[in-house]
Amino acid sequence: MEFDFSNIRYYNDEDFLRCRPELAAEPTLVRILNYYQPGITPEQVKEFIYSFKTIEQFQLTFIIKLIEKIVADSTDSVTYSGTENIENGKKYLFLTNHRNIVMDVAMLNYVLYKSLPDFRSTAIAIGDNLLGIPWVKHLARINKSFLVERDLPAQDMFLSAKRLSYYIRQILTSGENSIWIAHREGRTKDGNDQTQAGLIKMLTMSGEGLFSENLSELHILPVAISYENDPCDVMKINELYTIQTGQKYVKGPMEDFNSMFAGMMGPKGRVHYHFGEELTKEKLLKINENIPVNQKVRNLCDYIDRFIYTNYRLFEKNYIATDLLNNSDSFAHLYSSDAKQNFVEMMEEKLSSVHFDKKIAQDIFLKMFANPVKNYYSIMDHKYSFKF
């Protein structure tokens, strides 16, 4: 089947050269470059942008260095494990849980850059709803972002999903690039990471043959991302509270951009990436070929969820929040009294800006930290009970 990918594909070098004048004249990009290189003038920004002839030069000379600075300024550490499961030079579909719009994939590329001799940045699946500002859309597509179309009429959604599936498969099977994709549409806002069946179904739409053969061609490699802090927590509370109280949540015109900026620059504490093993044909066969497709999809979602739950790195704050919600001290041996006091003070400070029911807001806030604990122990140790 032939598809026209021109409206969703990421940019090539010719596109980059075409976009340079617009990027060089963008005031926000001038401010970004002032963060990266304080004191740079608009004329120097133009010279800087025009000094790059290819996307690879732009990424390796500027973008990865910018990510390194953001990591240094906004995290206490970024650690990783399981990189021995990545074969240098092989192309994978890195499938991760999703907490931060920009930094999930930015730090994935940072880790791969630190780990792999033959590093090449991943292609990135990103919702087109996040790219309403023209220069942001250009910058994203220069950085190998391809578009996942959102909010389409029902009759167009199927064809869009099929086109996206074929584009992803073409990138991977041609050896052009690895890809990052989140395991669900939109960020997990309540700390309860769950893989969407629709994503798995979309990935199968371009393949043929058995379920195991179809998906093994994509070299799916699950990754669990853990954040100690969420710089967008109060924004997420506002949305979750609105939905929880039966109201319709309507985003402001700049909300996605503000979330991206806060997620990049806000304090994230410690961050950890754990890379699993590739979902080979043999592993996928264990899901069982002799069951209906929908059940195979559900079983694979459960497998990915189990991987994320059991490899999510739990910090003191996760255990403190769990005990506060449970009104217990079940996990008190895993944190200090000072850490608990600091957490409570931090929570009260954050919730001071919330202008609705503080008890509901506090429960939402605590669950963001506590749900990963509940998910881990629901699989690994059933002796604990949870009241939430």
| C-alpha span between 212 and 297 (Å, rounded) | 11
pLDDT, residue 289, reads 75
| 378's tokens | 């629901």
| C-alpha span between 28 and 257 (Å, rounded) | 12
| C-alpha span between 278 and 95 (Å, rounded) | 10
Whole-prediction pTM: 0.96
Residue 360 backbone phi and psi in degrees, to 5: -65, -45
Edge to edge, the sheet with strand 179-182 lists 75-81, 269-275, 220-227, 93-96, 179-182, 123-127, 145-148
| C-alpha span between 328 and 331 (Å, rounded) | 8
Residues 6+ apart with CB under 8 A from 209: none
Lookup result for tokens 């195979």:
296
The two beta strands, 269-275 and 220-227, are antiparallel
Residues 6+ apart with CB under 8 A from 167: 3, 5, 8, 9, 146
CA torsion angle 69 252 124 12 (round to 10): -90
Contact 229/345 with Cβ under 8 angstroms? Answer: no
| C-alpha span between 236 and 230 (Å, rounded) | 9
Cα–Cα–Cα angle for 195, 200, 206, rounded to 5 degrees: 160
Domains of the chain in sequence order: 75-311 (3.40.1130), 316-380 (no CATH)
What sign does the CA torsion over 19, 123, 84, 70 have? positive
| 139's tokens | 């910058």
What sign does the CA torsion over 246, 248, 254, 259 have? positive
Contact 193/183 with Cβ under 8 angstroms? Answer: yes
| C-alpha span between 142 and 139 (Å, rounded) | 5
- One-letter amino acid for residue 50 of the chain: Y
C-alpha closest to that of 195 among 213, 175, 220: 220
pLDDT, residue 382, reads 86
- Mean pLDDT by runs of 10 across the 388 residues of the chain is 93 97 92 92 94 96 96 98 96 98 97 94 96 94 97 92 98 97 96 97 95 96 98 94 90 88 96 98 88 94 98 98 97 98 97 91 97 97 89
